[in-house]
Amino acid sequence: MVQCEMCGAETGSPKTIKVEGAELDVCDNCSDFGTEVKTQQDTGSTSTKYSTSSSSSGGSSSPSTSSSSSRSRRSDMFDDMDEIAQDYDERVRNARETAGLSQEDLANDLNEKASLIRKIERGDMLPSDEVQEKLESELDISLTAGASPDEDEDWDGGSSTGEYTLGDVVKRKD
C-alpha cells in the first residue's frame, strides 16, 4: 500500500498528477485536483504524456513539450482564489479611521468581535473570505493584491488585452 501524498490515505493504485508544477502520487479522490501524468515505456525509453481528462485513461492526450503553447492548461482549485494584499492591515485601519469608526464600532457593524478587528489591523491575522467581503463592503475598499487603495478600480492594464505589460512593471532609473 502507498500513501496518498495529498490527503495521506492508503491507496493500492496511486495516480501521478501534476499540481502547480509538482508531480504527486495521489489516491482516486485527490486526482481531480490536478492533471494526470501518464508514463509509457516505448522500447526502453520513457515518454511522459499529460491527460486533460483525469477520468478517462484512453482519452485524448497530447505530448508535453516546452513549445506547445496551444495546449490549454487545466485549471485547478487555486486559480479562482484572489491573493490578499500585503498591506491589508493598513488599508483596513486607514479606511476605518477615515470613516470615523472605532474598532468596536466597526466590529458591531460587521457582527464580529472587536478583538478580530484588532488582530487584522495589527497584521496578526488574515481575514477569512467572509470577513474580507464584509470589510470591503462596509469600508468600500479592496483587500486583494494588485489593487491599491488609491487606484481607480476600472483600470484594465496597459496592453490591448488588458494584461500587465513589462512597461507597467519596470521603473526606469534616470
Q: What is the pLDDT of residue 81?
A: 61
Pairwise CA distance, residues 85 & 87, whole Å: 5
Pairwise CA distance, residues 154 & 157, whole Å: 9
Helix or strand holding residue 105 (H, E): helix 103-110
Pairwise CA distance, residues 80 & 33, whole Å: 13
Whole-structure pTM over 0.75, yes or no? no
pLDDT at 66 over 70: no
**Which of 34, 55, 76 is the endpoint of a domain?**
55
**Which of 14, 35, 55 is the endpoint of a domain?**
55
Instruction: Tally Cβ neighbours within 10 Å of residue 32.
Output: 13
**Which of 11, 40, 55 is the endpoint of a domain?**
55
For residue 107, the domain's CATH number is: 1.10.260.40
Pairwise CA distance, residues 85 & 82, whole Å: 9
Asked whether residue 164 is assigned to any structural domain, the reply reads no
Query: How many structural domains are present in the chain?
Result: 2
Asked whether residue 67 is assigned to any structural domain, the reply reads no
Pairwise CA distance, residues 140 & 92, whole Å: 10
> What's the domain range around 134?
88-139
Q: What is the pLDDT of residue 45?
A: 47
Considering 75-79, 124-128, 150-154, 159-163, the range whose residues carry the highest mean pLDDT is: 124-128
- List b or e across 108-141, with b for residues whose CB sees 16 or more CB atoms inside 10 angstroms: eebebeeebbeebbeeeeebeeebbebbbebbeb
Asked whether residue 30 is assigned to any structural domain, the reply reads yes
What tens digit of pLDDT does each residue of 3-17 get?
Answer: 888 888 888 888 888
pLDDT at 110 over 80: yes
Asked whether residue 125 is assigned to any structural domain, the reply reads yes
Asked whether residue 25 is assigned to any structural domain, the reply reads yes
Considering 27-36, 55-64, 120-129, the range whose residues carry the highest mean pLDDT is: 120-129
What proportion of the chain, given as a percentage, has pLDDT over 90? Answer: 26
What tens digit of pLDDT does each residue of 83-98 get?
Answer: 888 888 999 999 999 9
Asked whether residue 145 is assigned to any structural domain, the reply reads no
